[in-house]
Amino acid sequence: MARPGHRPEPAPRGRIGRVRLTIDPDSPDAPYEQIRARIAAGVRSGEFPVGLRLPTVRGLAAELGLAANTVAKAYRALEADGVIETRGRNGTVVAGSRDAAAREVAGAAEGFARLARRLGLDEAATRAAAEDAIRAVWADDGPPRGG
């Protein structure tokens, strides 16, 4: 809460390519999760193209005023999800894109998870709801179409 006559500090900002990355200090999401979510969304939308070189962990941490471990945690999560690749001395880049359907489903899943969190569901209840929905759809519709 701002004190009278006190200007709140601006949100820390960094840059990926030509895109500004902002950390919201008032967000319920941890800074590493904000970084992870923003980069993942940028990759899904095509805003961050395949092969785009991301800032170094230390470089982005310095721009955002965060500990390097915070950015490293976000990068590790993104790499585990196949969103980015770390190429040693050649840096960290946006990984080869999955097909459009997979990107669309990933976006919908993220939206579902954020909604569940906002509504107060814990991770186990959220997973159970997703699994129930998947079972119901596959039982009703049979195997997936197309390919």
Compute CA 64 distance to the chain's CA centroid, rounded to the nearest angstrom.
16
The domains of the chain are located at: 13-94, 100-141
Strands 92-94 and 53-54: antiparallel
Report whether 70 contacts 59 (CB < 8 A).
no
Summarised one tens digit per residue, pLDDT across range 57-89 is 999 999 999 999 999 999 999 998 888 998 888
Q: Is 94 exposed, middle or buried (0-12, 13-18, 19+ CB in 10 A)?
A: buried
Length of the chain: 147
* Domain 13-94 falls under CATH 1.10.10.10: yes
Is this prediction's pTM over 0.85?
A: no
Cα Rg of the chain (Å, integer): 18
Summarised one tens digit per residue, pLDDT across range 8-17 is 555 566 667 6
